[in-house]
Amino acid sequence: MSQVDIAKLIDAAEPDVVILERVAYGAGQTNWFVCRESGEYRTVFAGLRPGSRVTVLLDGQIARSRYSDSVRATILRIAAAEHDCVVGVLSADPVRLTVEFIAGPGELDEFEETFGDHSEVYVGPFPGPDDDGVKAITFTVPDEDGVVRPHPH
């Protein structure tokens, strides 16, 4: 799938397209982004690291919510079922998410202190490298020489 095809899918998707970058040779390092407006993905794509495996979530599986007791319960339910839950908040950079992987109430209590009541949060299970072209697209960023190679992520 070409970058043009990916761009068309992102533009046609619901708002709040979440992008996960699994950094090549990053020992599990991830970067998380959200595109809330058309065209923001260009900024994200321009900063992706060579060799990274990137998943673009088009279906809201990491969904935006206003933080509440109900959202807290959802986070803890996902954490219990999946081992942990992705919880992200917008950082100072408007397309970057600050993400924590919450495994239980103690971790959530600590993370809550960083964002406060009624903040917008992004919540969901950690996504796999899905690539069905409808709900998600996964691709590997070419190395600096333009060649796509497998790398540990």
Q: What is the pLDDT of residues 32-57, one digit of tens each?
A: 999 988 788 889 999 999 999 999 99
Do 86 and 35 share a structural domain?
A: no
Token look-up 């996504």 returns: 127
d(CA 27, CA 17): 25
Is residue 87 packed enough to be buried (19+ CB in 10 Å), middle (13-18) or exposed (0-12)?
buried
Examine the domain organization and report whether 69 and 120 are in the same domain.
yes
* One domain, residues 116 and 141: no
48 shares a domain with 94: no
Statement to judge: residues 131 and 109 lie in one domain: no
Domain match, 52 and 31 both: yes
Tell me: do 122 and 66 sit in the same domain.
yes
Q: Are 14 and 46 part of one and the same domain?
A: yes
Between 108 and 115, the more confident residue is: 108
Total-model pTM: 0.89
Structural domain harbouring 45: 1-60+127-153
> Domains in the chain: how many in total?
2
- Interatomic CA distance for residues 133 and 63, integer angstroms: 19
Tokens of 77: 């339910």
